[in-house]
Chains A and B, each alone.
Chain A
Amino acid sequence: MTRYEYGGDEFIFVELSESMSLEANFQAMAITKQLREEKLPGILDICPSNASYMVRFKPEDIHPDKLISKLKELEQSVSVDDFNISSRVVDVPILFDDPWTNEALMRFRDRHQDPTSTDLEYAARINGFDSKEELIKAITDYPYLVSMIGFVPGLPWCYQMVPREQQIEVPKYVRPRTYTPERAFGFGGAFAVIYPVQGAGGYQLFGIAAAPIYQKEQRLYDFKDSITFPRQGDIFRYRSITMEEFQSIEKQVEDGTFRYLTRDITFKPQEVLENPKAFSDEVLGGLYA
C-alpha cells in the first residue's frame, strides 16, 4: 500500500514499497518522469529514489493536499508497461581489495559486525560464497540499474539486475565510519555505491573506482554539462581491474583524456523484468562490441 506523507510544509514523500524491487524503482521513475513533463507550477525538485520518491514544492503555488491528489492520480494512470527509459550503459572500472579502502576499513574495525575479517571476506561469507574472489565475480558478472542519486552530489545507488534470490545483501556498519576515501566502492543493504567525495559512510567497503564520478572543476569530457556523472536510469557495469590498469586510468584522468566507455540505450522495464539474464547479456555485448 503506497504511503503519501508530508515532509513538513515543503515536501511530499511517497513510499511505493517498503522493500526494494526493480518494479518499485521503475514505477517511481515512470511517475516522476510524467510529473516532470506536466510542469506544474510551484514544483521545485522531483527526486525519484529506490522504492519511493519525493517532491519539493512551494505551498503558496500548490497546496500540499492538491499535490497529493495529483500524485495519486499519476499512480493510477502511469503504467510501467508503456514506459521507455533512455539512458546509458557505462563501463565502471573498479580496483577491488585495494590498499586505500583497506586502510580505511581497518581503522574502523570496532564499528564493524566482524572485527576479525575484512569487509569483503565478511560479505562473501554471509552471502554464501567460498571466497572473496567469488563475491567479486558475482558483483561484476551482471550490470546494475542506477536506482537513485543522492546522499551527496552524484552518489549513485546501484541495484543489480538479477532475480531476488541472486541478489547480494549486506548490513551497513554497526556505527558509521567518520572517514571513507573518495571514490570508494561500497555495498549496503542491496545497493552498490561509489562515494563521490571523502566523508562519513556506513557501507561495507570493497574497492575503489579508478575514475571520478564527481568533478567540480569539470575538466573531463564526461563532466562538461554537470559536475556529477551518474544519472538515474543509467546501467553501470562494474568491471574488476588490475593495479596496472588503475594507474593508467588515473594518469588519463590527470591529463584530462579519460572518458567513460558508454553506449546510449533505450529500453522498457519489461525487458529487464521478464528476462534479466538475456537483457544483461545484450547490454554488455553492446557495450564491449
Chain B
Amino acid sequence: MLKEVLNQIKDSDYISKSKIAMNLNKSVDLIEDAFSQLVRMGYIRVNNIDNCNSNCSGCFLGNSCTSKSSTKSIIITDKGKQLLEK
C-alpha cells in the first residue's frame, strides 16, 4: 500500500488525501497513516511552508505576517524516488 500511496503522490500536482483515498479505495485516516509511515521511513519529507509564527517568534514584526494556514509541502526523497523506480 505504501508504494501505491507514493505513486499517487508522484502523480499529483497537489496532495488531496481524500482523492488518494478515493483512488485507492481506502479511508482518509489510513492514507494519513501511510503518509506518517512514509515520512518515518524517509521516503517523503513534509515541511510546513508558511507557518511564519514559528519562523519569527520573538520578532516584533512577526505579527504582520498574514499567512498562518497549515499548507505543507511534500518532497519525495531520493530514497522514495529509488523505490518508485523499482
A, B: real partners: no
A interface vs B, CB < 8 Å? none
Which residues of B are interface residues toward A (Cβ below 8 A)? Answer: none
